[in-house]
Amino acid sequence: MPSRYAAGWGDNCFLAVCVCRADSLTLRRTVEIAWDYRRKAGARLRCEPSQSRAPALRRIKVKSKLAMMDPRDDAILKLASSPAWIRAYSGFIFVCGGPVDVREQEPLSVRDALLRVAASKPSLFNRIRLAEEFKEWSVDGHYRDLRTFEEHLAELSDVIVLILESPGSLAELGLFSAMESFQRKLSVFVSSHHFDQPSFIRLGPIKYLELLENEAEVFPWVRLQGGRETVDKDWLAASAHELFDALQERAVSKNPESRFDPGKWLHRALLICNLIWLMSALTITEIELYLDLFDVKMSNEDLRQAMFILERLELVYIVARSRQRFYVAKGSSDFIRWSIKRSELDLERMQMDIARYYEEVDRKRFRAIQEVRRG
């Protein structure tokens, strides 16, 4: 696998150097970084063995007739050789529970009441996602099983709120409480009426989470009326802010800055977001190529799963232009701190150079970026 990359320009010649095993695909991958030259300008490509004692060292020279060189090539090789740190990450808040309908004058459920209070706090509300937004997890074969999909959701979340007021949320409690990746992130909201009863839910999943020092949030939202359990709408109207206060306490991010680890799914996903943001728009092939330079190995299936869930979370957007599909960043996705001097690579200037390059050389991509950013 590659351990070091370098790049430079001179007399219309792009020079990339990589250290790799002779039987590795890395050499071919590094050559592929010049796809624009080969496709658009009929670039001539020559690989020359170095005179170095290390037999695996190769120099790759790409000569192109293009008047304007692709600034991404130089930048990506410098970034790939730079130590990287994942910034403190504020994840999403997934909320499961009863029905929601903002068109109704009164909340339809405890979850509906909670979300109405949260809507007045944009900094937190913008992080909230509802479980039903991800019903299409198996569409087009992106995910073959629900467990993998939910594990990826857990990676991208800070809190998973389960309000035990619907059959779906009860089923999710049994599933999530058994998965180690979810246990610390779960926040179970249960009525005091059900909490005080020796039921399977109380003595099973809730007690198990309490043994892990994850206490349930208990509130008196159920009342008995004619022997039937109903939601106490008077309590919701007067005390829904208590639900929000409990959520707000749980939603404090606990993800400190950490060294980039290509073996962690979350780090790989945030790297993808960051690269798309830095380059403004990338195709799936370009993303796969760039990840390889960072020693990140993802199968085509794994990569498409990641792109599916990142799109659903609106961390990236997909725009179709002719036969191409561009993944575009709308807002800032500065999830990574690069340990590289500004004198070596000015990221702000790089982004401006890339935008100018697209405008001159790749108009389809440039218009796709404009479309997303105009909203």
Q: Say which CATH number the domain at 373 has.
A: 1.10.10.10
Does residue 255 belong to any structural domain of this protein?
no
Asked if the model's pLDDT at residue 331 lies above 90, the reply is no
Q: Give percent of the chain with pLDDT exceeding 90.
A: 50
Same domain, 132 and 197: yes
Does residue 46 belong to any structural domain of this protein?
yes
Q: What is the pLDDT of residue 318?
A: 94
Same domain, 96 and 20: no
Same domain, 6 and 123: no
Identity of residue 16:
A
Give the residue among 101, 93, 89, 98 at the shortest CA–CA distance from 125: 93
Q: What are the residues facing 206 on neighbouring strands?
A: none
Q: For 72, phi and psi rounded to 5 degrees?
A: -70, -35
Does residue 246 belong to any structural domain of this protein?
yes
Give the residue among 246, 313, 307, 280 at the shortest CA–CA distance from 89: 313
pLDDT (tens digit per residue) in 289-314? 999 999 999 998 899 999 999 998 99
Does residue 80 belong to any structural domain of this protein?
no
Asked if the model's pLDDT at residue 3 lies above 70, the reply is no
Does residue 34 belong to any structural domain of this protein?
yes
Same domain, 215 and 97: yes
| Choice between 106 and 145, residue whose per-residue pLDDT is larger | 106
Does residue 78 belong to any structural domain of this protein?
no
Q: What is the pLDDT of residue 139?
A: 65
Give the residue among 141, 124, 134 at the shortest CA–CA distance from 172: 134
Among 219, 250, 281, give the residue marking a domain's end.
250
pTM for this prediction: 0.77
Q: Give percent of the chain with pLDDT exceeding 70.
A: 81
Among 250, 280, 295, give the residue marking a domain's end.
250
Same domain, 59 and 173: no
pLDDT (tens digit per residue) in 259-287? 999 999 999 999 999 999 999 999 999 99
Count of structural domains, the chain? 3
Beta-strand ranges (E) seen in the chain are: 5-10, 13-19, 44-49, 57-63, 84-86, 92-96, 128-130, 157-163, 186-191, 217-219, 222-225, 228-231, 258-259, 281-282, 317-321, 324-328, 336-338
The Cα–Cα gap between 281 and 358 comes to: 10
Tell me which long-range contacts 242-247 makes (C-beta under 8 A, separation of at least 24). 243/110, 243/113, 243/114, 243/117, 243/189, 243/217, 243/219, 244/114, 244/117, 244/118, 244/121, 246/187, 246/189, 246/217, 247/93, 247/114, 247/118, 247/124, 247/159, 247/161, 247/187
Same domain, 103 and 238: yes
Q: What is the pLDDT of residue 141?
A: 60
Q: Which domain holds residue 48?
A: 1-69
What is the helix (H) or strand (E) element at residue 200, kind and residue range? helix 200-201
Among 223, 250, 277, give the residue marking a domain's end.
250
What average pLDDT does the segment 212-234 reach?
Answer: 88
Q: What is the pLDDT of residue 189?
A: 95
Same domain, 207 and 225: yes
- Answer whether 248's CB lies under 8 Å from 255's CB: no
pLDDT interval class at 177 (50, 70, 90): confident
Q: What is the pLDDT of residue 19?
A: 37
| Choice between 110 and 330, residue whose per-residue pLDDT is larger | 110
pLDDT (tens digit per residue) in 36-64? 444 444 444 444 444 433 333 333 444 44
Does residue 84 belong to any structural domain of this protein?
no
Same domain, 166 and 239: yes
